Structure 1
Amino acid sequence: MARDDVRARVRGLRWRPTGRATPTVDGLDLTVGAGERVGLVGPSGAGKSTVLHALAGVLGDPLPGELSGTVHVDGGVGYVPQDPGSAVVASRIGRDVAFGPENAGLPRAEIWRRTDEALDRVGLRYPTGRPTSALSGGELQRLALAGALARTPGLLLLDEPTAMLDPAAAAEVRAAVVGALEGTDTSLVVVDHHVGPWFEHLDRVVVLGPGGRITHDVAPAALDAAALDVPAGGATSLRDELTRAGVWLPGVPAPAPLDVPASLVAPDGPGPDVVVEGLRVDLVTRGLRGRTTTNALDGVAARLPAGRLTAVTGPSGAGKSTLVATVAGHLRPTAGEVRGAPGRTARSRDLARSCGWVPQQPEHGLLALRVRDEVELTGRRLGVAVDADEVLALLRLDHLADAHPFRLSGGEQRRLALAAALAHRPGLVLLDEPTVGQDRQTWAAVAGWAVAAARHGATVAASTHDGHLVAHAGHQVRLDGPARQRQVVAA
């Protein structure tokens, strides 16, 4: 590859986050050509997001730690992080997308042309004055992507860009990315645990192993179902090798959920039968324009039976997270009622004892300075014994017991949030997109926890787009939205 054809070059990258005993990435070399499309895959915690952070230039200052090696990038960078909410910079979606073009000093007409086009490309077809706080997690992913596309970057970095989207919305976002890059020399590096749907759009797939080391750098065709089954010289097939490493590959069946022991998940008594009737939830945003009320749910009726895993499904923006958070007592119903759940009037201690809620943004539930302390915290406050060692080992976090929770990868943080909320074995278990960012092994642990908790009497509900998890649910509540989501602006 000629020097002029190189978009990004990484040499000898080593990164040890503050508070971690070992580097996340150690000695990585990677080159991305101009116009090249690269998929970056590997098990949870292998350093995929760290590589994107390095290419985006955010290691060492915004993210503290020990950094060495060199990273050279030619051209501007558009970056969509794993937590899309962290990329929001404005209270209205139009202003948020316009932020990049405005900072580039473009004329006003060009700024808003790019903004409108980017929002349309990603399928976020709300008025530009819609509050960013009224968006679902999946809609925030689309917003972050629109902001990146509006910059027309030379290097586009996407970290799990479709993880919280339903299949139709995910296909729309992939099409938006491909369409935006067509006919340009913009390079793409995309991290996606389920990379198969990207194969037809990629030139290379780079697989990271422990320590962020590249174990394979192959053409997507080498990872299709036919090629994966052919061992080389009698050796283990690439399919088997990558599957054992935790990589999700097309055509490979999902693993079975782990058989989690009752001692880790069984509540003291049977969980409640939760009944939702006529539920309406309005989300209120206050800003310079006054108060904006957005209808997120209207007229919802549902049942969450005890001893069952209920999958809460539906398209992005349908109100799945709102329903789960309302049952958890974190949102106040505008109308209707939720029976059987503790609700907003319960004392904090009683709510914590009876209900475990794992939010879509895992960092919102993290309070301690060490991973082990996080797992033990709620149980200690409630006087409930927690076997932290066994919980950490089950969720593949035992090697991180002394690490700071905010120095973990996105998938690791999500598993830690689950452990922190559920290690004291509540009777009501509420999960919001619990399997996002998980490799095959860690998926089996998370899914196994949900299935086992229900089997041992808990009431378990999970808002999810994960068809593999839905297949193990004994009950389903589907929201057929998106919700009407009316807006009323009051001075």
Structure 2
Amino acid sequence: MADLTLRGLTVTPAGSRRPVVADVDLDLRHGERVLLVGPSGAGKSTVLRALAGLLEDDVDASGEVLLDGRAPRAGEVGLLVQDPLDAVVAELAGRDTAFGPENAGLDRSLIWQRVARAHAAARYTAGRDREVVTLSGGERQRLALAGTLAADPGVLLLDEPTSMLDAPTARAVRAAVLEAARDRGLVVVDHDLAGWAPHVDRVVVLGRDGRVRADGPPDRVLADPALLADGLWLPGAPAPQPLDLPAGLLRPDLHVVGDVLRGNGLGLVRRRRGLRPTPPVTVLHDVDVTLRAGVTTPLTGDSGSGKSSLLAVLGGLERPTGDLVAATGFAPPGRPAPHTWRSRDLAARTGWVPQSPEHSFLATDVRGEVRATPRVLGRDTARADALLDVLGLRERADVNPFRLSGGEQRRLALAAALAAGPALLLADEPSVGQDRGTWAVVAGLLAGAARDGAAVAVSTHDAGLVHAVATGAGVHLVAGRSSRGAAAA
């Protein structure tokens, strides 16, 4: 195994005058474990991409990366990217994990042995014949980790490897990562300082200006209370209070009282027809849910339990079995079931924040993205501009949404979902990738939307978010079924 060195990294995105990281040096000795932290947008993912040699061609970058004093060769540095969908290269899970060993020219039997070991190490249990598109976000995250491990790199770079996992699964995956990295260098980017700090040798802190602010042993670095002001989730610190927003900022364009959407015995069966049909897969079964105006309803459950699928059903993006009815006054005349609505009807009534926020992007710059739905509906864009300020995206207004950090993309998706004043807000893991400050803003927007009269449903593994914003009985899913009477956190 090897030592990895980064010298003088400065990266300026295309079209920007301000570097996202500046003069960053980093030394990783053989077998050393480093936790790289900082506020949202500080350039953590950029540093990992630079170490892996995967910076975009059109960025202005300077600096040098060396592995044992030379340029790294292909496969020697393995990167798990923040969005697991960006790592998908094959239709089936097993083939996806086999990609690295295949490119290394291993014998077929050795490839599948490597795949089996990687799946076990990453706690991926959905099966190698499972279609990747049918996996939950957490399952894809574990599959992407397996693909990184299967390539057997000398250095592991992991970007938010547990961000979309429930707490028990996150602990298991963290243990698997530490076991796999026993004889390798490891750099982890994660907002969960409490989970990683006991297991790393050093903590490196990037400031908001993209420069190294601190570098040293965890107990010394994390003892600095000033890091709270930079938004770091210091171990033992209480969650911040949701931001208190001006009354009426998020008032729905369509006024609804009482139940907005009600589902009884909901189910969802997915199947693929065509040249390569697949057997039907039951994703949801016998789920009851009621969303009320002015109430925030949390949707919780283990990774893969069906939370995102339930949100898709509630948002009219999937056709369910069972009875799903929208309230009179909310539904278009004669169309009570959301899956029968036209796209314009959905846009006028519902704001959707997907788990992979880039799936919702339509415009080539941040300002255009947040204004897109109000403009299509003929509504005022003043609220859209105000949301850019609230979410700290005003200075990024001219940037392409795909050039934002993961946390910034998620905040942009939330702003775009709220900009037209929806009476129903559906948010899937909205707090992932947020520092303390941006978390408080996200929580404040969810709470503010409900306070101003919207019905809000939030799918999340974040128990702190549930505690901060939930005002109604939650729906807890277990293997696609609603566990009636179960705790929502």
Q: What TM-score, normalized by structure 1, do the two folds share?
A: 0.91
Moved over 6 A (4+): none
- CA drift at 1:377: 1.3
1:489 equivalent in structure 2? none
Aligned to 2:244: 259
Count matched residues: 462
Q: Is the 8 A contact 1:55 1:73 kept in 2?
A: no
Q: Which of 195, 198, 203 is the matching residue for 2:196?
A: 198
1:117 alignment partner AA: R
Q: CA deviation at 1:477?
A: 2.9
After TM superposition, list the pairs within 5 Å mapping 1:372-391 onto structure 2. Answer: 372-387=367-382, 388-391=384-387
Give the secondary-structure state (helix, strand or coil) at the position aligned to 2:249: helix
Offset at residue 260 of structure 1 (A): 1.6
Does the Cα contact within 8 Å between 1:134 and 1:294 map onto a contact in 2?
A: no
Paired residue type of 1:32: L
In 2, the alpha carbon distance for the partners of 1:483 and 1:113 equals 31
Q: 1:92 to 1:6 in 2, by over 3 A?
A: closer
Distance 1:347 1:339 in 2: 16
Partner of 2:310: 323
The two structures have a TM-score, normalised by structure 2, of 0.91
Contact 2:204–2:215 at 8 Å: present in 1 too?
yes
Is the partner of 2:266 in helix, strand or coil?
A: strand
Distance between the aligned counterparts of 2:276 and 2:127, measured in 1?
15
Q: Which deviates the most, 28-37 or 298-307?
A: 298-307
Distance 1:286 1:466 in 2: 36
- Counterpart in the other structure of 1:338: 324
Rounded Cα–Cα distance in structure 2 between residues aligned with 1:476 and 1:303: 9
Paired residues of 2:271 and 2:277 also in contact (CA < 8 A): no
**What's 1:475 paired with?**
472
CA distance in 1, matches of 2:205, 2:317: 40
Please name the residue that 1:130 is paired with: 130
Partner residue in 1 for 2:112: 112
Once the 2 structures are TM-superposed, how far is the Cα of residue 384 of structure 1 from its aligned partner? 1.6
Closer, same or farther in 2 for the Cα pair 1:56/1:293, shift >3 Å?
Answer: farther
Give, in whole Å, the separation in 1 of the partners of 2:25 and 2:139.
Answer: 34
After superposition, where does 1:293-442 map in structure 2 within 5 Å?
293-333=280-320, 335-340=321-326, 342=331, 343-387=338-382, 388-442=384-438
Q: Distance in 2 between matches of 1:112 and 1:215?
A: 44
2:191 is equivalent to residue 188 of structure 1: no
- Aligned partner letter, 1:253: P
Separation in 1, partners of 2:251, 2:131: 41
Amino acid at match of 2:268: V
Instruction: Say which SS state the counterpart of residue 205 (structure 2) adopts.
Output: strand
Name which of structure 1's ranges 280-289 and 70-79 shifts more when overlaid on structure 2: 280-289
1:145-164 correspondence runs (5 A)? 145-164=145-164
Residues 263-278 of structure 1: matches in 2 within 5 Å? 263-268=248-253, 269-270=255-256, 272-278=259-265
Q: Matched residues, percent identical?
A: 52
1:45-98 CA-to-partner distances (Å, cap 9, x unmatched) read: 00000001101111133xx31111111235612211110011011111111111
Equivalent residue of 1:68, what SS?
Answer: strand
Following the alignment from structure 1 to structure 2, what is the Cα–Cα distance between the partners of residues 110 and 201?
Answer: 31
Unaligned runs of 5+ in 2: 332-337, 482-489
Greater Cα offset, 453-462 or 22-31: 22-31
Q: Provide the rounded CA distance (Å) in 2 between the counterparts of 1:57 and 1:110.
A: 27
Distance 1:106 1:288 in 2: 31
Q: SS where residue 317 of structure 1 aligns?
A: coil
1:68-79 correspondence to structure 2 within 5 Å: 68-73=62-67, 76-79=76-79
Please say if residues 32 and 201 of structure 2, whose CA atoms lie closer than 8 Å, have aligned partners that are also in contact: yes
Cα deviation 1:166-187 (Å, max 9, x = unaligned): 00010010011011122x1x11
**2:214–2:221: 8 Å Cα contact kept in structure 1?**
no
- Determine the C-alpha separation between the residues in 2 that align with 1:375 and 1:321: 23
Name the counterpart of 1:233. Answer: none
Provide, for residues 180-211 of structure 1, a one-character-per-residue CA deviation record: whole Å limited to 9, x for no partner.
Answer: 122x1x11110001221011210000000123
The one-letter amino acid paired with 1:365 is S
Q: Residue 219 of structure 2: SS of its match in structure 1?
A: helix
Q: CA deviation at 1:380?
A: 1.4
